[in-house]
Structure 1
Amino acid sequence: MFSIKLAAFTAIAFAAGQALAETHTVTFANNCGYGTPTLIGQGGAVLSTGGAYTSNGALIGAIAYLQTGSCGFNGEGCTLVETTLVNPTSAGSGSSTDISLISPHAFSVTTGFGYLGGCAPAGADCNNANCNTAFHQPDDTFVQVACQEDNANLVITFCS
């Protein structure tokens, strides 16, 4: 009898853990007709070259850009999207995404992003080298777009 109760408890705990598991998906909409959307994770791992990427857990410090042939591996010379997607554990500790034009990054194509789900329509677009929605200096923190919902998903758009 004890083993049946233990097995039932284990099954319920496993199911509850699966229901509460943290996941985040990044998708791309490339409307340019050229280039390869690229998502790079911490440590330099290529996570996606255009397809949807789902992280089973937090996605910390990822970068994305449209590889047009002139971008460096870390998006040098191109418009960069930086993101951390993480479930909030306290106020202000959730996801944050921004566009960066801080050198060595530079405007290359119109780039935007938007959260899906509970934080929609929060996001930003940058359509020129002087847009006020991108980092130009390291202290331009007002351009960061936060999401304080669990399992935040993101769509990154090029040439919108």
Structure 2
Amino acid sequence: MFSSIKFAALAAVAFAAGQVLAETHTVTFDNRCNSGTPMLIGQGGAVLSTGGAYTSNGPLVGAIAYLQTGNCGFNGEGCTLLETTLQNPTCPGCGSSTDLSLIPPHSFSVTTGFGYIGACAPGGADCNNANCNTAFHTPTDYWVQVQCEADDADLVITFCD
């Protein structure tokens, strides 16, 4: 009997510790265009947000975001695309990474930028024209990726700033 009480107590402590250490990431939009609908699409094509803040309870892997102006395809085709993975680092270089992409079929549509909040601030980038050097134009433009190696990285995505 004593051992089952001890086990239950240890299980409760482990559960509580896991709740305190749970990984979360929040993506927030700041649409200054006065039109359009911010879109956040997760893996598998799930619409995660159409403008409201979105919080992931765990890693947010391979999400895309863009401002739907009426001219964008569902995966941001024809528009400025943001790609992000927000995850707590488990090894050096394994944390969050965000970038902007103008690789066809994506193309410049509106000024798009992002910034990490918290430990990785002011890390981020802005693209305000079709020739900006802060976005992927070819698949090998890896230097435009902005890393964050802190736990629970949050992101603000801004349009028309």
Paired with 2:137 and 2:119, the residues of 1 have a C-alpha distance of 29
Paired with 1:90 and 1:3, the residues of 2 have a C-alpha distance of 37
Match of 1:135 in 2: 136
Alignment partner of 1:146 is 2:157: no
Paired with 1:94 and 1:7, the residues of 2 have a C-alpha distance of 34
Q: CA deviation at 1:55?
A: 0.8
Q: CA deviation at 1:157?
A: 0.3
Match of 2:73 in 1: 72
Q: CA deviation at 1:7?
A: 2.6
Paired with 2:61 and 2:71, the residues of 1 have a C-alpha distance of 26
Alignment partner of 1:51 is 2:63: no
Match of 1:100 in 2: 101
**Under a length normalisation based on structure 1, what TM-score does the superposition of the two structures give?**
0.97
- Residue identity (%): 77
* Cα deviation code 1:20-76 (max 9, x no counterpart): 111111110000000000000011110000011111111110000000000000000
3-state SS of paired residue (2:122): coil
Match of 1:87 in 2: 88
Match of 1:121 in 2: 122
Unaligned runs of 5+ in 1: none
Paired with 1:123 and 1:53, the residues of 2 have a C-alpha distance of 19
3-state SS of paired residue (1:102): coil
Paired with 1:38 and 1:64, the residues of 2 have a C-alpha distance of 5
- One-letter code aligned to 1:23: T
* Equivalent residues in 2 for 1:32-51, closer than 5 Å: 32-51=33-52
Match of 2:25 in 1: 24
Q: CA deviation at 1:10?
A: 1.7
- One-letter code aligned to 1:79: T
- One-letter code aligned to 2:159: F
**Under a length normalisation based on structure 2, what TM-score does the superposition of the two structures give?**
0.97
Paired with 1:7 and 1:118, the residues of 2 have a C-alpha distance of 36
Paired with 2:147 and 2:7, the residues of 1 have a C-alpha distance of 42
- One-letter code aligned to 2:42: G
Q: CA deviation at 1:5?
A: 2.5
